Amino acid sequence: MNTKEHILNVSFDLFLQKSFNEVTLKNISENTGMSKGAIYYYFETKEQIFLEIVNNIFSVVESHYNKISKDSLYQFYHDYVTFFIKSTFNNRNDDEVNINLNYFSLIFDALKRFPIFHEKLVDTQQMQLNIWMEVIRNARIKGEIKSSMNDIQIASMFMYSSDGVGLYSIFTKANSENTMNKLLDIWDSFYEVLKV
């Protein structure tokens, strides 16, 4: 890992623990083991670090979607759970529930401070919706599903139920394994309905 990545990774962890206002360059300096001058060599401001972190989050989401198998709807949503729940939250050392909550807080902080992220969020959600609809269309063509619901309705059910289970898990302090099982249980049941 190069120095810039090290600064971003440490800063990301700090922004997951505290709000944008609470994280200082001094915190970043202390936690990276680097002087403020060394950090300024790579980033002019804390805002620049924060912006790059949030941009990276959007890039990772798109990258993960491109790695998911689109051969079947069933395989797609199982891979989705693996990529987005396990890989996003299981690699953290801190209390997982707080990390989940702070992850959402970080996104909301970005939306509040930097309005450009609203457009990025909308674009990312549209990209996700388009991929879900593509997978659903292919599932219809292959005879995997036979629902009277249209593709956008089915895609929306998958996407919005994921958001809802994620928030419910935060409120109930469920860990990622329980969240994954709850989401798969809901999606497996929905999938069975779609096959009829």
Q: 3-state SS of the chain: helix, strand, coil percent to 5? A: 80, 0, 20
Residue 92 φ/ψ region, left for φ over 0, alpha for ψ in the -120 to 50 degree band, beta for the rest: beta
pLDDT at residue 93 greater than cutoff 60: no
**Mean model confidence pLDDT for the chain:** 86
* pLDDT-derived band at 50, boundaries 50, 70, 90: very high
pLDDT at residue 84 greater than cutoff 80: no
- Distance from C-alpha of 15 to C-alpha of 36, rounded to nearest angstrom: 17
pLDDT at residue 14 greater than cutoff 60: yes
CATH number of 54-195: 1.10.357.10
pLDDT score at 3? 93
Q: For residues 68-97, give the mean pLDDT.
A: 72
* pLDDT-derived band at 90, boundaries 50, 70, 90: very low
* pLDDT-derived band at 67, boundaries 50, 70, 90: confident
Looking at per-residue pLDDT, the higher value among 27 and 108 belongs to 27
* pLDDT-derived band at 116, boundaries 50, 70, 90: confident
Q: For residues 54-75, give the mean pLDDT.
A: 86
pLDDT digits 0-9 by tens, 158-188: 999 988 887 887 788 777 788 888 999 999 9
Helix, coil or strand: residue 19:
coil
